[in-house]
Structure 1
């Protein structure tokens, strides 16, 4: 009988030891974000930069090489759908992504559902003002993924030929100078430019230059938008707004697709620019991967500002629009502590590992928002934007516009481009949109 009781005690002791050991490993796994042996974790990233979908998928593989027990799946936002809409739909279904790529203006809408990232290591290396627009009540809720800029992209081979020598981009600092360049390109036998008619390009990038161009003082720009909402702005009499539309009229006049201005697609732009069929395309540095696949100019491209007047000293005529355009946020409602830790590890991996930095700068052609990343961009468009930034020749992009701005106002811009609405109608529709914003 004593022998049997001794055996029972031994078995119970072994069970206790096994349970304690298992609990210890489980705790270790949770704290390490799923990197402990046998504690596999899967996270998801909702990608709203469609042009880097394949690069993100490759980054996920490279990240897994360094973190074998973390699998990251990349979910694309469908074409034509805003990241706000897709993220909202995923939350409504109870299945939000672990990491969501949002436009800057959308971060605040999700702040009660996402993690406070103020204590993360990379906060100390973020460039100045890069987290200001995603900080609420002293807490930063987003990772600044990319600084992007946009304006007129020029093919140097085409414009050099048109001007009969080496083109100096600094000479294009007025609306008149821009038209002269268009005329010279046309006289050389090439189309001056292509206007891509997507609502996001017209509504989220082009028209907002009229808001940002009101002043070099960002507080004054914010007040202008507030006054727009309150119906206190008369756009019909606004000098910057009308100057920007004068430039847009020139673009429509010299557009390679002017016979059918709404027939163009995003994919057509990089093809005709890269092949040298047109000299200029209004777009951003995110387009380099597509341009490079058609490049006949040996990588010689750069940016021109979008002039709004014939006074070279006016703000906007020599500045490029740039800002942190995309943010990564981490869900705290449905994803587990292990998934959250794994997601944080991915953010650090991008900022501090050689593979992560290579992904940002060389693979995705992103201008990083971190001072510690010193890799020089090989991408000529990123180089051009970086040069404008270094010279202090930038205008803050409108990063906090309402989520439906680009779709609704972009549709009005499309009508104007197609000749289905005149300037009076366009102006009225834009003002009515702003009055409807809650």
Structure 2
């Protein structure tokens, strides 16, 4: 959706000069350090990935120790609150130098605040297609944060204890049968000695609009559009695979502890699903991606080593793949001062292109880099290794949700929540989703 998210108010505020920088420097070297008056350059980073916040802060502190002329402030707002919080930043007196955006719709909305990064050295090392969603008229406006993948993350030990060979679960029907078998064993108490708090096969965080309206919904839309760019250009959504999407949602909810009252899932959030679900072995399967590794590791490093990823099946369409794409992009505020922009670019270059930064990206942030010059650095995170396995096998579907109308995911999630609560039929969900897409494209 080509919405004017920032709109005329931002333009007026820009004219009145509210986007002045946080610090000045007469001159600055290419690595972000001051070389002139000795003034401190302050770079504010605003990002949305809670799972990397601690490790990113540690990386910042390391960078500051090596570049005493630069101070970097990090603020993280995760989940669905990020978009509104970023808008408030831009509308207020607290603009930031580095922030994250998701793709074509975000780029169109914030275009006048985006510094072109085309001339940065890292651009030549981005893997094929890695910057497609942030390239406009030949100019690159974002640095890929990471390649990420999501599917159905499962506990290998639980499946092994139940006698289920996870390697055979490459179709919807095979998964459905195995989950039914596992749930019957849980209900019978046969796994209770080894897994005393295990109560259900799955947990589905229906409260989270990004899980429902972005990730689950994407499984169907990826096959309809094929790319975020095509989704962004489309004035309509047909839901060609709407019935298969219903099957997927039914699969992910009928083996939860809320299966007798699916409305209860509308109160399940990310923390309950991950930290209070998979991480404590209360459930065996969740729809999530490799970004959960730091949170699982904080609970149990041993458990992290026992996790794998099953496909996220779109019945009768594509059943043996996971969804893989560039998660978000680092962007630099074009309204910041030259010194601040130089320092911001230097930090990003250090983090993703220096030897020490590359090791941080792989081993501390647990990210899969979208660059081709990480030779000799092994991925240590088990879930990231699983994503790479699917990528190497060509078993992936694309992320297209960054081409959706901004905010449409919340509408989709609300409609699916109504379906789970029994107040909307699936046919009504699809019809409303279609109508909302068309209306939001006109804004």
Q: Name the TM-score, length of structure 1 as normaliser.
A: 0.84
**Could you list the runs of 4 or more consecutive aligned residues of structure 1 that deviate by over 4 angstroms after TM superposition?**
221-227
Match of 2:410 in 1: 407
1:266 aligns with 2:267: no
Tell me how far 1:222 sits from its aligned partner.
5.9
**Structure 2 CA distance for aligned equivalents of residues 293 and 75 of structure 1:** 21
Tell me how far 1:104 sits from its aligned partner.
1.8
Tell me how far 1:31 sits from its aligned partner.
6.4
**Structure 2 CA distance for aligned equivalents of residues 156 and 266 of structure 1:** 21
Is the 2:236–2:434 Cα contact (8 Å) retained in structure 1? no
Tell me how far 1:45 sits from its aligned partner.
0.5
Task: Output aligned runs, 1:189-208, within 5 Å.
Answer: 189=186, 190=198, 191-197=200-206, 198-208=208-218
296, 301, 304: which one pairs with 2:307? 301
SS of the equivalent of 2:288 reads strand
Unaligned runs of 5+ in 1: 1-25
**Structure 1 CA distance for aligned equivalents of residues 63 and 258 of structure 2:** 43
Tell me how far 1:27 sits from its aligned partner.
5.0
Match of 1:431 in 2: 434
**Structure 2 CA distance for aligned equivalents of residues 119 and 414 of structure 1:** 45
Match of 2:72 in 1: 72
Greater C-alpha Rg: 1
Judging changes above 3 Å, is the alpha-carbon distance between structure 1 residues 257 and 373 closer, same or farther for their aligned structure 2 residues?
farther
**Structure 1 CA distance for aligned equivalents of residues 229 and 64 of structure 2:** 42
Tell me how far 1:400 sits from its aligned partner.
2.1
**Structure 1 CA distance for aligned equivalents of residues 132 and 48 of structure 2:** 21
Judging changes above 3 Å, is the alpha-carbon distance between structure 1 residues 194 and 34 closer, same or farther for their aligned structure 2 residues?
same
**Structure 2 CA distance for aligned equivalents of residues 341 and 87 of structure 1:** 21
When the two chains are superposed, the root-mean-square deviation of aligned CA atoms in Å is 2.2
Q: Describe the superposition over 1:257-289 as per-residue Cα deviations: whole angstroms up to 9, x where unpaired.
A: 334212222112223212322221011111111
Task: Output aligned runs, 1:11-410, within 5 Å.
Answer: 28-29=27-28, 33-36=32-35, 38-77=38-77, 80-83=80-83, 85-105=84-104, 106-163=106-163, 167-169=165-167, 171-189=168-186, 190=198, 191-197=200-206, 198-214=208-224, 218=226, 229-230=235-236, 233=238, 235=239, 238=240, 240-258=241-259, 259=261, 260-271=264-275, 272-295=277-300, 297=303, 299-309=305-315, 311=316, 314=317, 316-333=318-335, 335-374=336-375, 375-398=377-400, 399-410=402-413
Is the 1:244–1:307 Cα contact (8 Å) retained in structure 2? no
**Structure 2 CA distance for aligned equivalents of residues 91 and 270 of structure 1:** 32
**Structure 2 CA distance for aligned equivalents of residues 210 and 35 of structure 1:** 50
Judging changes above 3 Å, is the alpha-carbon distance between structure 1 residues 384 and 31 closer, same or farther for their aligned structure 2 residues?
closer
